[in-house]
Structure 1
Amino acid sequence: MARERATALLVDFDGVLRRWDPAAVGEVERRYELPAGVLLETAMRWALLQPAVTGQVTHADWLATVTDALAVATGDPDRAKAAVTEWQLYRGEVDREVLDFVRAVRAAGVRVGLATNATDALDADLTALGLTDEFDEVINSSVLGAAKPSREYFTQACRLVGAAPARTLFVDDSDRAVAGARAAGLSAYRWTGPADLPYLRAALGL
């Protein structure tokens, strides 16, 4: 039996709407003579990141734990602090094709929620990137106290965007997040890049 057409869209932020240039991180690591890849490997450890994206600690607290871990790895606390500070100056770039898609979806009367695992720095990032008015809802895991791919996150996200799970389409570049959304009853699409947009437009009747 075919599903009813979605009346709401949930779109992931990092990896879908916001892109990160790996060269920016690589340049910081080279400048501070850090091993290639160590910044993100350290920062994205779930044990460090999970408290920040579920609202247990602030973005600043998370960066402090990242700095401490990097200091242990490098044996140089000052260099670790300087590298983390400079890394954080780069806030990514908006994929203009995805933003145009979001605007077209909203113009067609479909509600759009930004569905992201994020820290309390999200609002500042949206302001810096000029995105504050681009969504009907911003569903930030650190505000909800629950992160993707949990059922609790998706239940709250659907409630906030005002659509039943069965009438909500979720787009994310994470296999785990897509699987979690499907388990919670949403339609979910694994994002691979802007080449996916024609399919998504068709799925939403655009």
Structure 2
Amino acid sequence: MVRQRPSALLIDMDGVLRQWDPEVRAAVERKYGLTPGTVLDTAMRWSLLQPAVTGQVSHADWMASVADALTEAVGSPELARAVVDECEIYRGAVDAEVLAFVRAVRANGIRVGLATNATDALDADLATLGLIGEVDVVVNSSVLGVHKPTKDYFQQACLAVETPPQQVLFVDDSDRAVRGARVAGLSAYRWSGPEGLPYLRAALAA
């Protein structure tokens, strides 16, 4: 396959466009006597997460399952629900440098898709964060019913940005997602921070 200069960008949400301050959640965990990291580790259990990011259950149902899993650690269902509710108030923050990059890419006529494993809460989060209209298309796994890093997800994401895989650049902070994108025929860049922006700008001439 001949690699071409990318004419479309797919960019991940969490860990790339949106950043999370771990201290916010850790403060809630300490308040309820939990070790920092407990809530995230519980929420990211694949048995709990997978149904939510493939649209089998709602975000609210996912959070209820996380609270159920935390009940023993905090001592009661009511306290577990309080932990989850307080953590849920914080919705992260937009990385201003990444957003500026996305805007520059789009200004150069390159289509940009937000390619994310997300729940049905994504649209509300985009509104809360002021991101509505900042990308050309949102490729939400819970809408598609398939998730990164499956080949089917990337095929559908390329269709969404109306660009063949060999002309799409994918950016994600997950090694598994990057490998999956490459298997599906996309160019892929493993995000580790804004220091990667000069390379991406050169790749996209943005």
Aligned partners of 1:199, 1:35: CA distance in 2, in Å? 38
Deviations 1:119-176 (A, max 9, x none): 0000000000000110100000000000000001000000001100000000000000
Tell me which amino acid in the other structure corresponds to 2:122.
L
Deviating above 6 A after TM superposition, structure 1's stretches of 4 or more consecutive aligned residues are: none
SS in 2 for 1:119: coil
Structure 1: gaps (5+ residues): none
Tell me which amino acid in the other structure corresponds to 2:71.
A
2:202 aligned partner: 202
The TM-score, its normalising length taken from structure 2, stands at: 0.98
The TM-score, its normalising length taken from structure 1, stands at: 0.98
Contact 2:33/2:74 (CA < 8 Å) preserved in 1? Answer: no
Aligned partners of 1:73, 1:21: CA distance in 2, in Å? 23
Aligned partners of 1:75, 1:25: CA distance in 2, in Å? 19
Identity of aligned residues (%): 67
Structure 2: gaps (5+ residues): none
Tell me which amino acid in the other structure corresponds to 2:84.
V
1:117 aligned partner: 117
2:55 aligned partner: 55
Tell me which amino acid in the other structure corresponds to 1:178.
V
SS in 1 for 2:89: coil
Contact 2:34/2:73 (CA < 8 Å) preserved in 1? Answer: no
In angstroms, what is the RMSD of aligned CA positions? 1.0
Aligned partners of 1:43, 1:65: CA distance in 2, in Å? 8
- Cα distance, 1:4 vs structure 2: 1.1
- Cα distance, 1:104 vs structure 2: 0.2
Aligned length: 206
The 5-angstrom pairing of residues 167-178 of structure 1 reads: 167-178=167-178
Tell me which amino acid in the other structure corresponds to 1:107.
A
